[in-house]
Each structure stands twice: as structure tokens, then as C-alpha cells.
């Protein structure tokens, strides 16, 4: 067993850390206030190879392992979870989905542009009446021979307004239940594809979340991913990897808040001494750091499972369940350590606290992770 990161992992970590500090930090508060999508930053992240990290180099990707990817998401999230969710969705839901399950023509046409950052992707599973209950898809795709006709509404779609390529899950045969669901590649601008207004959110405010409407959108048959009826399994398998990304995001949010609380406690004085000398504050730091380390091992273990060909459905659910709880707890404590300063935007921790909450909701709520974990435990 080896708990140390390789030289390569450390280099990737430093690159992501420097990028976050130099390129993301200066505009983070303003973008959060204005709910402004970080278009220029996304372009730079594409140039650095952060948008297709695990994709085969043949298709423009970095050919890196999942641990490298988790490290990058973690480092970006210490500074801005809006930027890291863009990276997470593009890498682990869109690029991975196409790399693992797309055919050669689909990869050539779509994956290379997505992996290099020339295009951005979105993953469209959730609907107004099908969130946690993802098999209850109301969006339909009717087979018309050489194409499908897509109708319905997807909501909460990350990168919804900014993406070029959308992976859309839809019911093709209701009688077959989840075996009658398929996944399709849909391009922005196709007739009948409308992007609704941007959501006004509690956290990750500069990420771009939209409702999407599909009104008789013609989708060529060659844009279906996998065999007929593979769509629900496609979504589930892809989401297992996505959950590693969101767990890494939660880990980074917690880590960023902890580092700020630690540093602040060493300079802020009360009762004639730095507040870190009060045991109540020192113990908070001890608890925060211990919980973050515990979460980190679950996140890296799940990434390692994926890299080593092990099943990672359960380990990714455990990593996300734990890391998102840690993100919530640690950010609340980080605000407390900052006192009144924790309650204002200038000190960042209030934003990290707002951003932490989403990690317990998207890519499967904490309750859904417990369903996945308990079913995995009881399977045999």
C-alpha cells in the first residue's frame, strides 16, 4: 500500500493550484455576485488540458488517470466550485461517457472537440418529474427510421446555456421501462431545441444552470449511444464516475475553507492572543483536518478503483456521501472561526459554505447515495 502521490500527481496538483490562484481567484467574488459564466477561464482550462483529462490522447485527451483528475477538481474547488463543476461535468459525464460507450464515428465527430475544450458538453438526465427517480423519464424519443424525434423538458442542466454538445437521456419505448431508455448526442442550434432562462442559485452561482426544451427535435439515428435500450445503464455507469468528480469537488471546498480558517486563526487576536491558541478553535481545526483526511482517502480510493478496473459504484457513492457531508460541516465551522468576517463576501468562506450544499444534492442526493451503498452491501 502506498499513500503518497507520485511525482506526476504532485506536478499536476501544483499546476492546478497555481492556475486557480492566478487565473480564477481574482474574479471569483465578482462572478459569484453577477452569476457570470467564466468563459475565458474555461478557454484557458481547455488549453491546459483540464477538460479532457482522462480521454485517450488519440481523441485529443490527456490520457491521465482518475486520481489526477480528482486532484485537479479538488484544487480548483478550493478556490471556485463553479469552475470545478464545469470541469467535472465535461470530463466525467460527457467525455467519459463518449470515450467509454460512443462508437468511432461519434468519438471522431464529438469527443475530440470536447476533450480539447473547443466545445463544451452537458449531461441531461434530470427532469421536472424525474430527479432522484431517474427511470421515470417523461422526455420521449420516437423512432422514425433513420432518425428519432425528441420531445420533452430537462431541468437543472449544468453548462446548459454554454455547451455545444448535449448528452440527452430519453424514453424510446415506455412499455420496456428502464430498458426502453436511450442516450443521444444533441447539438446546440438544432431546430426545436430551446434553452430556458438561467437559474438564480444559492451557490455555484457562476456555473450555468438551465432548463432545456425539446420540441420535435430531429436526432439522427447515428447519434444514439450504444445499443437500443442502453441509455439508463449508460447514465448510471457514467454517473458512478461523475460522483468521484463531485466527491473531489466537495473535498476541495472543505480543504479551501479549512486552509482559510487555519490561516485566519493564526492572525486574528482575541483576549490577548491569536484565536488558534484558544482550545475551542484549535479543536475545530483538528476536527476539520481529520474529517478532510478521512474524506480524501475515500475519494482517492474510489478513483483508484476506477483506474484499476474494480467496480466503483459503491466506493464512488461512499466518497460522495462522506465528502459532501464534510464539505458542509467544515464550511460552517470555517465561517464560525472567522466570526463576523466569515459572514461577508470578502473572506470567501461564506461562498464556500453556500457552494458546499450542492454537493449533497446533484449527481444523486445523499439519500440516493445511501440507496446505492446499501443495495451494494445487501446484493449477495
Q: Does 158 bind ligand FAD (CB under 6 A)?
A: yes
**Can you give the C-alpha Rg of the chain in angstroms?**
21
- Comparing C-alpha atoms, which of 74, 71, 113 is closest to residue 90? 113
Q: Of these, 66, 84, 91, 209, which contacts ligand FAD (CB under 6 A)?
A: 209
We find the least distance from the C-beta atom of residue 269 to ligand CAA, in angstroms, to be 41
We find the least distance from the C-beta atom of residue 160 to ligand FAD, in angstroms, to be 7
20 close to 74: Cβ distance less than 8 angstroms: no
Say which entry of ligand CAA, ligand FAD, none residue 185 contacts (CB below 5 to 8 A, set by partner kind): none
From the candidates 23, 127, 291, 363, which is the catalytic residue? 363
Say which entry of ligand CAA, ligand FAD, none residue 6 contacts (CB below 5 to 8 A, set by partner kind): none
Q: Which residue is nearest to ligand FAD (CB)?
A: 131
How many CB atoms sit inside 10 A of residue 111's CB?
Answer: 28
Say which entry of ligand FAD, ligand CAA, none residue 367 contacts (CB below 5 to 8 A, set by partner kind): ligand FAD
Q: Rank residues 63 and 177 by Cβ distance to ligand CAA and give the closer one.
A: 177
Q: Rank residues 51 and 89 by Cβ distance to ligand FAD and give the closer one.
A: 89
We find the least distance from the C-beta atom of residue 328 to ligand CAA, in angstroms, to be 16
We find the least distance from the C-beta atom of residue 356 to ligand FAD, in angstroms, to be 13
Q: Rank residues 252 and 342 by Cβ distance to ligand FAD and give the closer one.
A: 252
* Distance, CA of 114 to CA of 88 (rounded, Å): 13
Q: CA torsion 314→319→324→329, rounded to 10°? A: 120
Binding mask 341-370 for ligand CAA (x = CB under 6 A): ---------------------xxx---x--
We find the least distance from the C-beta atom of residue 364 to ligand CAA, in angstroms, to be 3
Task: State whether residue 122 is helix, strand or coil.
Answer: strand
Residue 104 bears catalytic tag:
no
Crossing angle between the packed helical segments 231-267 and 66-79, to the nearest 10 degrees: 50
164-183: which residues touch ligand FAD (CB under 6 A)? none
* Distance, CA of 222 to CA of 297 (rounded, Å): 41
Q: Does 236 bind ligand FAD (CB under 6 A)?
A: no
Residues in Cβ contact with 130 at an 8 Å cutoff, skipping those fewer than 6 apart: 136, 137, 138
Grid-cell match 467519459, residue found: 96
Task: State whether residue 195 is helix, strand or coil.
Answer: strand
Q: Within 13 Å and on the Cβ side, how many CA atoms surround 298?
A: 28
97 close to 88: Cβ distance less than 8 angstroms: no
Residues that bind ligand FAD (CB under 6 A): 89, 123-126, 131-133, 156-158, 201, 204, 209, 358, 361-365, 367-368
Amino acid at each position: 500500500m502506498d499513500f503518497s502521490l507520485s511525482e506526476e500527481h504532485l506536478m499536476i496538483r501544483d499546476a492546478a493550484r497555481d492556475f486557480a490562484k492566478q487565473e480564477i481567484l481574482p474574479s471569483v467574488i465578482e462572478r459569484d455576485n453577477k452569476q457570470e459564466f467564466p468563459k475565458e477561464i474555461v478557454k484557458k482550462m481547455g488549453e491546459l488540458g483540464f477538460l479532457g483529462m482522462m480521454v485517450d490522447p488519440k481523441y485529443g485527451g490527456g490520457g491521465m488517470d482518475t486520481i489526477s483528475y480528482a486532484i485537479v477538481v479538488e484544487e480548483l474547488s478550493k478556490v471556485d466550485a463553479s469552475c470545478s463543476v464545469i470541469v467535472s461535468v465535461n470530463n466525467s459525464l460527457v467525455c467519459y461517457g463518449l470515450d467509454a460507450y460512443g462508437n468511432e464515428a461519434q468519438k471522431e465527430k464529438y469527443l475530440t472537440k470536447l476533450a480539447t475544450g473547443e466545445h463544451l458538453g452537458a449531461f441531461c438526465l434530470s427532469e421536472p418529474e424525474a430527479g432522484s427517480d431517474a427511470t421515470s423519464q417523461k422526455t420521449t424519443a420516437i423512432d422514425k427510421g433513420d432518425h428519432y424525434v425528441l420531445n420533452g423538458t430537462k431541468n437543472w442542466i449544468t453548462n446548459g446555456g454554454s455547451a455545444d454538445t448535449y448528452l440527452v437521456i430519453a424514453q424510446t419505448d415506455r412499455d420496456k421501462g428502464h430498458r426502453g431508455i436511450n442516450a443521444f448526442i444533441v447539438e446546440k442550434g438544432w431546430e426545436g431545441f430551446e434553452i430556458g432562462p438561467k437559474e438564480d442559485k444559492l451557490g455555484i452561482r457562476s456555473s450555468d444552470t438551465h432548463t432545456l426544451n425539446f420540441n420535435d427535435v430531429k436526432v439522427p439515428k447515428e447519434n444514439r449511444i450504444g445499443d437500443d435500450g442502453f441509455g439508463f445503464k449508460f447514465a448510471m455507469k457514467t454517473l458512478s464516475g461523475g460522483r468521484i468528480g463531485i466527491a473531489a469537488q466537495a473535498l476541495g471546498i472543505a480543504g479551501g475553507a479549512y486552509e482559510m480558517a487555519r490561516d485566519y486563526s493564526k492572525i486574528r487576536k482575541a483576549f490577548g492572543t491569536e484565536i488558534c491558541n484558544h482550545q475551542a478553535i484549535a479543536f475545530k481545526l483538528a476536527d476539520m483536518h481529520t474529517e478532510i483526511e478521512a474524506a480524501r482517502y475515500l475519494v482517492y480510493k474510489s478513483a483508484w478503483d476506477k483506474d484499476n478496473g474494480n467496480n466503483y459504484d459503491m466506493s464512488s457513492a461512499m466518497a460522495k456521501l462522506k465528502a459532501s457531508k464534510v464539505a458542509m460541516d467544515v464550511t460552517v465551522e470555517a465561517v464560525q472561526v472567522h466570526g463576523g468576517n466569515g459572514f461577508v463576501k470578502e473572506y470567501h468562506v461564506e461562498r464556500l459554505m453556500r457552494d458546499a450544499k450542492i454537493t449533497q444534492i446533484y449527481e444523486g442526493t445523499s439519500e440516493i447515495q445511501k440507496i446505492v451503498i446499501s443495495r451494494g452491501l445487501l446484493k449477495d
